[in-house]
Amino acid sequence: MAQKHTVTDLRNGSGHALSLSGHEVWEGSQSTDFPKTIMNGDSIQFTHNAGTNDGSIAALAYKLQDDGKMWVVAWSNPRGADSKAFTDLLDQPVDWDQIKTELDANGSADYKTVKFNYRAEIKMDPKSASPVVTAYLEKKYA
């Protein structure tokens, strides 16, 4: 049987370079090499492997260079339950416990938020054992 995993595709249309500010892994590989930088206009893909007996549940925070806002992407691909994802934009340090609470309570197969003149969206197939998570960040023009 194939290793359960989550493929994540991060797309940056924010007008800023993004730098990894932090991450939290609740289930799955602790040694994933998450992308450190995502330039404006780029799309970067990586795989987060589930653990032997658990799922792939994690969150990343990227700082928008020259802006200071944080883009948070989170996914939950547990064993024995549907997958879901969550995204947010913050102007303060990341509270990982709060992100996990939001992911558990409000995560969905297609989650969107608009804040600080940016639009963030994250999508995934809730029924796939090894889903692709696609997350977009873009500047929202008036």
The domain locations on the chain are 5-139
Q: What's the pLDDT score for residue 85?
A: 98
Q: What's the pLDDT score for residue 3?
A: 66
SS3 117: coil
What is the topology classification, in CATH, of domain 5-139?
Answer: Mutm (Fpg) Protein; Chain: A, domain 2 (2.60.270)
Give the residues of the chain that fall short of pLDDT 50: 1
Q: What global pTM score does this model have?
A: 0.94
**Spatial CA neighbour of 10 closest among 41, 45, 48:** 45
Pairing of strands 5-13, 43-49: antiparallel
d(CA 6, CA 75): 9
Burial class (CB in 10 A: 0-12, 13-18, 19+), 141: exposed
